[in-house]
Structure 1
Amino acid sequence: MSWNKSQTLLLISEYQRHEAKVTSGLLRKKMLWQKIETVFKEHGYSFTADQISGRWKTITRAFKNTKDHNKKSGNDKKHYEFEDALNDVLGDCPTVNPVTISSVKKRKLPDVDSESTEGEDDCSCSKSDSNESSKQKSKKTNSSEIINLLKQHSEQQREFQSEYRQMQAKESERRQKEHSERLLVLNSLIDAIKSNKK
């Protein structure tokens, strides 16, 4: 099944809508593709979660290849059809726009204790650099900040679980509807066969 422009733009838009949850680890990629599959079905598109995931890999690879090509001196300028849309989502991604060694001044890397990397996505990057004043700040986080973080995380987990339950309910409802429709077709077929025998 081939993809058209509007379907691809819908995929990019839906990925961007859920990107924060994916990068924070609240939403796994498999669940993301299933969510997008549901949205696609609402729009009348019959792509599976695997097809959506495959399309995402294809367009991001083409986007990266275009970026790499255009960075090399002497190359003619290429433009990728979805470059502008993907720039909004992946423009700052280090796998697409890696920081070159020559442009990096000497700076202290963040301490492992002070900055957790758990839950980071392949295409997420920090936009803030450490500065002198941050070095002077205490590394210890006070208990109220920890409590606030835990509350926030708990709230996000509840929201995610609620969305997951809603999605499961919709899927169950869809399957039940399909089953009922199949039974109706089978019953009408049986009735037609019986009437032909008479």
Structure 2
Amino acid sequence: MLIAHWTFDVENVDGHRVADATGGGLTATLDEGAEIVPGRDGEALSLGGAGQAVVPAAPQLVLSQVFGFSLAFFVNVTGDPTGEWRGLLYKPVTDEDARSLGLWLYPDALRVRVQLFTVKGPEYADSRAVLTLGEWAHVAFVVDTEGMFLYINGKLDVAVPLEHAVVTPAGPLHLGSEPGKPGLTGLMEDVRVYASALDQEAVRALAE
């Protein structure tokens, strides 16, 4: 079930506020390091390394491992590796609490790392695929009671079983940098959040 969708197309943008295209009222607010520019298909969110778009915590954004959840987006990395982890997406347990869910670019490569926080500590999955600088790629992260699954361009790239329960990521959603840390230099668009675990066919359809 699709619960939020930010296209960043101009009809959904009002200054620094971007409406949820599903009509669910989940508005993303851009900071001074983020802007709307021409993208892959329509407009895109442009982030300058420290910029972010933030969606406040809301009941429909409480993501449950029991029911499964999925996040999917297109990304175009335009900045070379900097020697630091660069945030793509971040969601804490609650406001100003510890990280529960995160996606980053590697310090020295265009690979993706995802993290979930479980009751026994963090669990990680690292992409085998390497993104291409200046080209669009589709990234999807799926979680259910069996594990976490990272898809790149519609193909399952890595799967990690989860032996312990995931701490529910119920806080605000940050696209780009997490507070006080470097983030993506590049573009994002078609950001989707599902309150269900997408299967491979559904992920492939989004990527295509």
TM-score of the superposed pair, with normalisation by structure 2: 0.20
Higher helix share: 1
* Larger RCO (CA under 8 A, 6+ residues apart): 2
Larger-Rg structure:
1
